[in-house]
Amino acid sequence: MNDLINKLENKKAKICVIGLGYVGLPLSILLSQKGYEVLGIDIDEKKINCINSGKSYIQHFDSKVVQECLKSGRISASYDFKRVRECNSIIICLPTPLNAYREPDLSYIIKTLDDICPHLVENQLLSLESTTYPGTTEEILRPKIEKQGFEIGKNFYLSYSPEREDPGNNQYNTSTIPKVVGGSTKNCLKVAISLYKNIINEVIPVSSTRAAEMTKLLENIHRAVNIGLMNEIKPLADRLGIDLYEVINAAATKPFGFVPYYPGPGLGGHCIPIDPFYLTWKAREFGMHTRFIELAGEINASMPAYVVNKVIEGLNNISKALKGSKLLVLGISYKKNVDDMRESPSVEIMQLLKDKGAAVDYSDKYFPEFPSMRKFSFYLKSIRITAEELNNYDLIILATDHDYFDYELIQNNSKMIIDTRGRFKPSENIIRA
């Protein structure tokens, strides 16, 4: 153990990051910048080729950063899982979606473990960062590693440290967001801390991997429930003729006891729409029902349909029917200023409108062409926003409020706008949704 800790603290250790997406790439870059030799592994050859040629495939990550790490000789990428044997530490950053029944899908993690376990060696640290239910590290990872003959805490070390990436947030980055870490044993925790303290400004140790897993779920459940509360109040405020955004901003002036959350067209991204259901699933194992979480999920999932009803209302105001109308959706990523469409409510809104007979286009510079998705197929290209283009549409839907949009141009040249983000002040041609 002491030899591994010394290597990690002296940055003589080689680190393997498995999964080079929105979590794995920033982490790999940070490790490299802090002086570690990094091997990134992914099954996507496009990502491998991009990294090895010094290119970034994530919008908010400049290729120059990748090039600098590549030039230093401290980063490389591969799709060969056998190479984990070269590394002193392995960090897993893989997706953990839900299946069609809203049950945890750990297939990416399990498949990866099956691929790497035969190639693990003594005195390695394996840290899982993927969001999951409490007990995953001990119930899934630990038995597979122990089957290889290792003793956890003695000649192999296992930890869980949830990722806390927030793409598009310029205030915080990987190194400045405090890192929660839990170990399978006290020795495992010591080893994990010796890695993370060298790259993260503040490390928060907790008593177990279960506590660390629960911490990530609580963070996202907190957000999902509070956003759900605002989404429930939004239609009521609308009926009362009250601007909910004005009320939230006024309430936020209270210096204690209130945290502002804002309504929207639904939840998107890889965390908030998914993570709460990991805990509801685990709760059923103990015969318990997490009613707050499930209710918030129902409310948030209903918001795209609410937006569609507002579209119908807006078209009625200009004597148009939804069927046959020409609509433009602004922004298809799940949040502003990022190139990430996972679970985006914008796309669900587009599909609902299309199903009802509307002709739907979109505008989003982060997606020049509508990408291939499992649930949705739109053979479309992004529309360049001009006064002339805006006038071609019966109604505009602001679904994702990217900062680059010219909101004055949009307001002055649109017949009707459905604003799901509170970006515009209400007026005759603007309806909040």
The DSSP annotation for 311-332 comes to: HHHHHHHTT--STT-EEEEE--
- The answer to whether residues 151 and 27 belong to one domain is yes
- The answer to whether residues 283 and 195 belong to one domain is no
Of 87, 422, 406, give the one whose Cα is nearest residue 234. 422
Neighbours of 11 (CB within 10 A): 16
- The answer to whether residues 181 and 323 belong to one domain is no
**Running DSSP on this structure, what letter comes out for residue 98?**
B
- The answer to whether residues 307 and 294 belong to one domain is no
* pLDDT beneath 50, residues of the chain: none
**What is the spatial distance between Cα 369 and Cα 347, in angstroms, rounded to a whole number?**
13
- The answer to whether residues 330 and 267 belong to one domain is no
With left for phi above 0 and alpha for psi between -120 and 50, is residue 81 left, alpha or beta?
alpha
The answer as to whether 248 is a domain residue is no
What separation in angstroms does the CA of 2 have from each of 42, 69, 117?
Answer: 30, 28, 23
**Structure token pair of residue 159:** 């930890």
The domain that holds 80 is classified in CATH as 3.40.50.720
Contact 75, 38 (CB under 8 A): yes
The answer as to whether 269 is a domain residue is yes
- The answer to whether residues 276 and 341 belong to one domain is no
- The answer to whether residues 145 and 286 belong to one domain is no
- The answer to whether residues 404 and 424 belong to one domain is yes
Residues marked active site are found at 271
Number of domains in the chain: 3
The answer as to whether 253 is a domain residue is no
pLDDT at 373: 81
SS3 call for 337: coil
The answer as to whether 270 is a domain residue is yes
pLDDT at 270: 77
Q: Encode pLDDT of 168-220 as tens digits.
A: 788 888 999 999 999 999 999 999 999 999 999 999 999 999 999 999 999 99
**Running DSSP on this structure, what letter comes out for residue 138?**
I
Contact 264, 421 (CB under 8 A): yes
The answer as to whether 65 is a domain residue is yes
With left for phi above 0 and alpha for psi between -120 and 50, is residue 199 left, alpha or beta?
alpha
The answer as to whether 169 is a domain residue is yes
The answer as to whether 422 is a domain residue is yes
Q: Name residue, tokens 């199903």.
A: 355
- The answer to whether residues 286 and 323 belong to one domain is no
- The answer to whether residues 28 and 104 belong to one domain is yes
With left for phi above 0 and alpha for psi between -120 and 50, is residue 422 left, alpha or beta?
left
The answer as to whether 164 is a domain residue is yes
Compute and round to an integer the Cα radius of gyration of the chain.
Answer: 24
pLDDT at 167: 79
pLDDT at 170: 82
- The answer to whether residues 225 and 343 belong to one domain is no
- The answer to whether residues 320 and 272 belong to one domain is no
Q: Which residue range forms the structural domain that includes residue 279?
A: 217-236+263-298
What separation in angstroms does the CA of 126 have from each of 5, 152, 184, 197?
Answer: 13, 10, 11, 16
pLDDT at 293: 93
pLDDT at 377: 80
